[in-house]
Amino acid sequence: MSEPRETTGAPSHPLCEELLPVTRRALAHRLATAQAQGRAPSLAAAVSRGGEVVWTGARSGVEEDGPDENTQYRIGSITKTFTAVLVMRLRDEGVLDLSDPLERHLPDTRVGHLTLAQLLSHTGGLAAETPGPWWERSPATLRPELSDVLGDQPLRHPAGHRHHYSNPGYALLGSLVEAVRRAPWHEVLRREVLTPLGLHRTGPRPEEPYATGWAVHPWADALQAEPVQDHGLMAAAGQLWSTAADLARFAGFLLRGDERVLGAESVREMRVPYAPAAAGDWSRTYGLGVALTRQHGRSLSGHSGSLPGYLAALWMCEEEDLTAVVLANCTSGPAPETVAADLIRTVADAEPLFPQPWRPLPEVDPALLEVAGPWYWGTQVIGVRVRAGGALELAPLSGTGRRSLFRPEGDGTWTGLEGYYAGERLEAVRRSDGSVSHLDVGSFVFTRAPYDPQAPVPGGVDPRGWHGLPQA
């Protein structure tokens, strides 16, 4: 049995220092516990902060030397996130729109009415799996055509009504990429994503060193090797092999973007909830190729994966600028999703992220200072703060209220970027003398005083103004 391995990086992120020894030990202990209690032949993991790997660890019970952060494992459905990136690239290039029906780009599938967004978010109502035998353990030659992947009854639910995870849906997206790019899915992936991001240990086939996939007997400490199948048309749903180091780098890309692949706005869009949450479970939902959850009071995004002989999980925590990857070479047992979330919690709790230092803006438009400060929507007080680039931030100063960041449009208006006001227009309405009368925020009138009689408050205000109420 190998001893637990751990390494630390030398992070260059200005707010990211090397993890404390007590934190590194806690991470190694969590991984060792997961391997022992989950009866996993091996586990490999990596934690990053600020885009830099700050810890890696591995634990093995079957190999003397054991794995490390560069050992390949199959990553199952984390492959779907890679496929989603390819589709988002086509969208950003203007080749397609996510609202397009599939048949516009991939005809003759019998489910061509489904939109690309529905396929990305598993809201198209497609079946969870292909017709039998189980595609993950059987040869791809049994499914040479998309009709074999979809079967005679491909739909289980009306499109757009619920989140129903579908492996065939991502087979369709992989075929769409091939049809539009006129090249095999894995070649497009290599050229457009893996090579630019430096993911040289990620691909559709294993390359030494890689971990053998095992099935562990549920009632005895015995194991047997699992078959390794090529997935053919299902490759875009779960074919890839990768390493803890490569997936840590990929997770950093999913948080920050990379203009060579996808910009920050597009990867952020992937992390926005698109699918409705399941009834009774508001802690989990799905974006565009990215799963979303809340654990330990923190929002996490990422994906998990499983194939016979392998388990994988990748989580990102934007608020703490942390990512964690956990890989295992067994069919069931150690729950990598839970372990990865625990690794994030361990670092976040022990070493919370330092805030960015406050700095004054390099320049401020005096006209914006007229808009800054307290405003009232009726009696609710709202603070307006000037941000970099002429942006405005609205936030309630007490009680309940709606917060949003607004982007300047250059014509005296701003557009909301988040929350209730996303896409809504904010205008500073001026009097004839040029002074600001009020704010129009999506038709709501914000005034400098509560129910200001000089402002066009919808419905008017009590002509008596503010007054007391005599006691009986």
pLDDT band at residue 138 using 50, 70 and 90 as cut-offs: confident
Q: What angle do CA 6, 11, 17 make, to 5 degrees?
A: 90
Q: What is the structure's pLDDT at 11?
A: 45
Sign of CA dihedral 74, 78, 84, 86: negative
What 3-state DSSP class applies to 190?
A: helix
Rounded to whole angstroms, the Cα distance separating 326 from 339 reads 7
User: Domain ranges in the chain?
Assistant: 5-350, 366-446
Residue range 312-319: average pLDDT? 97
Per-residue pLDDT tens digits for 332-355: 989 999 999 999 999 999 999 888
Rounded to whole angstroms, the Cα distance separating 352 from 374 reads 32
pLDDT band at residue 282 using 50, 70 and 90 as cut-offs: low
Other C-beta atoms closer than 10 Å to the C-beta of 26 total 18
Res 239 pLDDT > 60? yes
pLDDT band at residue 424 using 50, 70 and 90 as cut-offs: very high
**Is residue 431 within 8 Å of residue 437, measured between CB atoms?**
yes
In the CATH hierarchy, which fold is given to the domain comprising 5-350?
A: Beta-lactamase (3.40.710)
Per-residue pLDDT tens digits for 367-414: 999 999 999 999 999 999 999 999 999 999 987 789 999 999 989 899
Rounded to whole angstroms, the Cα distance separating 282 from 280 reads 6
Maximum Cα–Cα distance across the chain: 88
Tokens 């005599």 correspond to what residue?
Answer: 470
Per-residue pLDDT tens digits for 161-220: 899 999 999 999 999 999 999 999 999 999 999 999 999 999 999 999 999 999 999 999
pLDDT band at residue 279 using 50, 70 and 90 as cut-offs: low
- β partners of residue 242: 73
pLDDT band at residue 427 using 50, 70 and 90 as cut-offs: very high
Residue range 247-263: average pLDDT? 97
pLDDT band at residue 5 using 50, 70 and 90 as cut-offs: low
pLDDT band at residue 14 using 50, 70 and 90 as cut-offs: very low
Q: Hey, what amino acid is at 431?
A: R
Q: Hey, what amino acid is at 14?
A: P
Rounded to whole angstroms, the Cα distance separating 10 from 16 reads 9
What 3-state DSSP class applies to 380?
A: strand
**Is residue 353 within 8 Å of residue 29, measured between CB atoms?**
no
Q: What is the structure's pLDDT at 142?
A: 83
Rounded to whole angstroms, the Cα distance separating 133 from 298 reads 39
- β partners of residue 284: 293
